[in-house]
Amino acid sequence: MLVAELRGVTKRYGLVEALRGIDLSIAPGELLALLGPNGAGKTTAVRILLGLAAPTSGEATVFGHHPASRAARLRRGAVLQVARVPETLKVREHIELFSCYYPKPLPIAETIAAAGLGGIENRLFGDLSGGQKQRVLFALAICGNPDLLFLDEPTVGLDVESRRALWARIRGFVARGGSVLLTTHYLDEADALAQRVAVIDRGRIAAEGTPAEIKAQTRTSGLEDAFLAIMKENGQAPEEVLQ
């Protein structure tokens, strides 16, 4: 049984077609990376699977349920791109609140440890560094002991050390049997973490497969070169892609 699925999904915002017929599925225990330049439709696909946006046509399911249903929400967690999080709450208070939304959350101490927040759990969110803030968002995503995680560009703006540490935590989640949909435009991130990569460009899936398959398809050695080759085939200038 599939963990999450998009079937023939299109999404139009006014005149803009953000998604033009996308098929995507995530299997149990799999980390799927959704790669693509800015504005390709990655975040729209995630928002549809989170029930925050409705597809214009096509169908989206999470564990066989409607993405906005309570049954779907109880089994997933998400790190979204959020500009501001309430700053006058302590780390522990944020985690305690989100944990109580779920029937069988992880023990608070376990969430704190799994997200690497030991020692700063009594600090106010507003007093944390960028990397620590991102770890709190990760903690809120995993505190309900979900089977599926959505990570929408979770390492943007983090330094190398924080990025690697978050990678380790994501791997830990997958090792315990969880599934992940990760969107990123860091190709090394997809290469390091993903079992499967889907390259999305202007609302369509341009390529899909294991990182090795994608490199082989495009006869390139690195995922970055493969990505550029795919974009070029689709008629985009490399400078545009790299921006």
Partner 1 sequence: MNRVYWMEAKTELLKMARLKQYSIATVAFPLMFYCFFGLLMGSSYTQGSISLSRYALATYGAFGVMGAALYAFGAGVAVERGMGWLEVKRASPMPPAAYFVAKVVVALTFGALVVTLLFALGAIFGGVRMPLGQWLLMWSALVAGAIPFGAIGLAIGSFAGPNSAPGIVNMIYLPMGFLGGLWLPIELLPKVLQHLAPWLPSYHFGQIALAILHAPTQGSVWMHVEALAGFGLLFAGVAWIGQSHDREKVYG
Which residue ranges make up the site for partner 1 (CB under 8 A)?
A: 50-54, 68, 70, 73-74, 77-78, 80-86, 88-89, 93, 96-98, 100-102, 124, 137, 140, 144, 150
Closest approach, Cβ 198 to partner 1, in A, equals 21
Strand order in the sheet with 4-13: 16-26, 4-13, 57-62
| Cβ proximity to partner 1, 117 vs 136, nearer residue | 136
Residue type, 212: A
| Cβ proximity to partner 1, 53 vs 206, nearer residue | 53
Closest approach, Cβ 138 to partner 1, in A, equals 12
Q: Where are the beta strands (DSSP E) in the chain?
A: 4-13, 16-26, 31-35, 57-62, 76-79, 148-152, 179-184, 196-201, 204-209
Task: Write the CB contacts of 31 (distance below 8 Å, at least 6 apart in sequence).
Answer: 170, 174, 179, 180, 182, 193, 194, 195, 196
| Cβ proximity to partner 1, 69 vs 217, nearer residue | 69
CA–CA gap between residue 64 and residue 109 (Å, rounded) = 32
3-state secondary structure (DSSP) of residue 7: strand
| Cβ proximity to partner 1, 47 vs 202, nearer residue | 47
Closest approach, Cβ 49 to partner 1, in A, equals 10
Cβ density class 86-101: b for 16+ within 10 Å, e for less: eeebebbebbeebbee
Closest approach, Cβ 126 to partner 1, in A, equals 9
| Cβ proximity to partner 1, 87 vs 233, nearer residue | 87
Closest approach, Cβ 89 to partner 1, in A, equals 5
Closest approach, Cβ 173 to partner 1, in A, equals 17
CA–CA gap between residue 45 and residue 55 (Å, rounded) = 9
Q: Cα–Cα–Cα angle for 73, 77, 82, nearest 5°?
A: 110
CA–CA gap between residue 177 and residue 94 (Å, rounded) = 25
| Cβ proximity to partner 1, 27 vs 89, nearer residue | 89
